[in-house]
Structure 1
Amino acid sequence: MLTAIHPKLPMRDKTATKDFYIDQLGFRVFGNADFDDYLMVEKDHIQIHFFAFRDLDPMENYGQVYIRTDDIDNLYKSCAANGLVHPNGPLEMKPWGQREFSLLDPDNNLLTFGQAI
């Protein structure tokens, strides 16, 4: 039986990634061990893991995560107020029955947030 998924995304700079997810998106560090080349963050029931990839070219990074939410409007307002929403990813209704918006983290990992309507 599958019970959860924790995507692993590349990061060039652990401090920058940590600051973005904690200070900008409201995640917190998960776990009590600090590994130089690995980071785990969580918010509500979502965990995202990151592995060091110092030579990553952000313009060639195709890391993507789709995160479902039950409060898309407030999440969008918070992200928009902090200037995080991607110019091509505003909140909109999609033909597949989801309201979605997207943003990019410091390494160009795409985070898409969606709520079924």
Structure 2
Amino acid sequence: MNKPPVLGNISPIIPAGGDMEKAIAFYEQLGFTTIHKEGDPVIMAIIKRDCAEIFLQKNDDQHLAEWTTFRIKVDGIEQLYQEFQAQGGQMIHPNGQLQTQPWGMKEFAIIDVTGVCITFFEPEN
């Protein structure tokens, strides 16, 4: 069969700081499940929630973490925002409250324990 290639989900590898257990706990608080850990002490972990998969890599480079950002598409963004608000909302970026952007995306941003910025988004229509 001659099928065209189709790209699927991406799995970013992001800096998780020096304390991997702290990073893993943060993402588990966001509803992710740890599906793999490597090393003793842990130097890499894979976390997953629904179709979103992230590789956490032990890395103390604060500058790298603060310049790392990516986006995750969500169905039900308002419910996800409420879920994070119900946990106190401290992970939500100070300038990243839920809002509709001029480009037609409803989105909000969080900052993880190392400074990585993740934007969750849902198309308006």
- Consecutive unaligned residues of structure 1, counting only runs of 5 or more, are none
Relative to the length of structure 1, the TM-score reads 0.89
Is residue 81 of structure 2 the alignment partner of residue 76 of structure 1? yes
Matches within 5 A, 1:1-117: 1=5, 2-12=7-17, 13-22=19-28, 24-31=29-36, 33-35=37-39, 36-54=42-60, 56-57=61-62, 61-82=66-87, 83=89, 84-117=91-124
Q: Count matched residues.
A: 114
Q: Give the greater-gyration-radius structure (CA).
A: 2
CA displacement 1:39-80 (0-9 Å, x = unmatched): 1100001100111113x2269621111000010010000112
- Do 1:58 and 1:107's aligned partners in 2 also have CA atoms closer than 8 Å? no
Q: What SS does the aligned partner of 1:73 have?
A: helix
CA displacement 1:22-53 (0-9 Å, x = unmatched): 1x20100123x533211110000110011111
- Consecutive unaligned residues of structure 2, counting only runs of 5 or more, are none
Q: Runs in 1 of length 4+ with deviation above 3 angstroms?
A: none
**Percent identity over paired residues:** 29
Query: RMSD in angstroms over aligned alpha carbons?
Result: 1.6
